[in-house]
Amino acid sequence: MTHTPRSGGALADAHTKLASGIEAFVGRVIHETGVPGIAVEIRVGDRRMSIAAGRTMRDGPPLSTSHRFHAGCTIKLLLAVVTLELAAQSRLDVDAPIGDALPELRGTIHGRTVRIAHLLSHTSGYRGTHLLDPATRDLDWPRLIAHLRAAPQLFAPGTVFSYEHTESILLGRILERATGRSPVALVRELLLEPLGLDPGRVENADEDPLWAGRHDLDRASGRFVPITAVPSLSAFWNAAFSDFTLSTADLAVLATALLPGEAASPVSAATRARLEQAAVTLPPAFGGPIRELLPVAFGHGAAQFPGRIHGHNGLTYGQCVGLRYAPTERLAVAIGMNAMLPHLRDHVLDAICVELLGRPMAGPAPRLDIELAAFEGSYVGPGRSKVTARHAHGRLELEIVHGEHRLPVELVVDDDARVVVRCPLPQLSLGLFRTRAGDVGLLLGASAYKRVPEGARRRLHRRPAPVANAEATS
């Protein structure tokens, strides 16, 4: 571990003690969970803490904050920064309908009603995709346009948060047509290079001496084992997942660039303000003690977590990363974990922020102000996913179905009006909500599901138009 305080006396002593405490905490997490390695980079004002524990692989070198992880979904935050910077330069209108920039969607409900800003805040409202579907992984531009032409609008744009990867594909194509540059090239040229960052590439990870490694949990032994081959997505998905690899030190530099008062930052005050401004509020999330910690709101590219913390997460096969920043305290934190445990990443980040800021991140446990019986019915969400909810004996029994996979979930309300969730998947986070239009919905993880009447359900469950006709519809 390295920590470089720049002031002396009591402040330096307090900084050293704080760093030592966080280092001990990270070590305990590895010891108690068996996670191969965790790297954490912290910037507080002009001070820095670099903390790492564990190894890249079982017999590999110790993990450090210089080791690179697949950036994954954190590219969405970087893409949002680039979009807002282009808007600040009047090169793009984020309040324009996407059909203005994508003539393939003109005349469709999504082309008319979805705005670029909705792509940034994940509030487009259309029925999206699911990466567990092979057809989704094989998408290309004509197939995506065909999907959107057939996809119903589940929620009014701008009203309901639902994390949808294809929104970034649409955004990337809009940027490409506005600038003549690919979205990944724009991120590199307008953000990474001005900050002095030189990312690696996933395709070169195995030859990279600073690769952090990937691991999966072996159910038989209960141990994490290295992953040597991973499923890959085509370059079509780069705007949603990117092929960049970045270290936690790199991610902390990016988070710091979003803080006020950074003279060398390529990010304007207008962009920072729009990132921090809540565009949509998420419903209260319920679940067990190790549930994934969802944001409380989302801006135009950045999530807002309890305690006035902002940031974004990344999750890829065998790894997860996350970054957080607190503008008021000028705090930036980044984490990399070489195992795919997003709920553990969230709790480690939350605990570190509590320690650094000296205050709790979350308020009292949320209560449900709608009767559970109001959520009985059938729901549709991304891809082929669907949910049935049955209310009986004071319980709401859910069955989440995706293909051959079925997950039972039971909800009850205790005497304090708090929702108790019983589920074989203890990291599941679940929200219940009603929209301004009166629609009833569920937020399972970060994906929204809408309750639909019987007749509409039959229509929504029909197969979409064959992708073989996609060329003709684009």
Residue-wise pLDDT tens digits, 261-274? 887 899 999 999 99
pLDDT value, residue 455:
58
Q: Which domains are present in the chain?
A: 1-367 (3.40.710.10), 372-460 (2.40.128)
Residue-wise pLDDT tens digits, 59-96? 889 999 999 999 999 999 999 999 999 999 999 999 99
Dihedral sign for Cα atoms in the order 243, 247, 253, 258: positive
**pLDDT (average), residues 381-388:** 93
Confidence band (pLDDT; 50, 70, 90) for 133?
Answer: confident
CA atoms within 13 A of residue 389's CA, in its CB half-sphere: 25
Q: What is the mean pLDDT of the chain?
A: 90
Closest CA to 245 of 198, 195, 203, 201: 201
Residue-wise pLDDT tens digits, 178-233? 999 999 999 999 999 999 999 999 999 989 999 999 999 998 888 999 998 777 88
Answer whether residue 466 shows pLDDT above 80. no
With left for phi above 0 and alpha for psi between -120 and 50, is residue 109 left, alpha or beta?
alpha
pLDDT value, residue 463:
46
Closest CA to 282 of 465, 63, 122, 79: 122
Closest CA to 435 of 419, 421, 451: 451
Residue-wise pLDDT tens digits, 26-40? 999 999 999 999 999
Q: Quote the CA–CA distance of 108 and 144 in Å, as a whole number.
A: 14
**pLDDT (average), residues 344-365:** 89
Could you tell me what percent of the chain has a pLDDT over 90?
A: 78
Instruction: Please give the structure tokens belonging to residue 335.
Output: 């984490």
CA atoms within 13 A of residue 127's CA, in its CB half-sphere: 27
Q: Which of 56-60, 82-86, 451-455 has the highest mean pLDDT?
A: 82-86
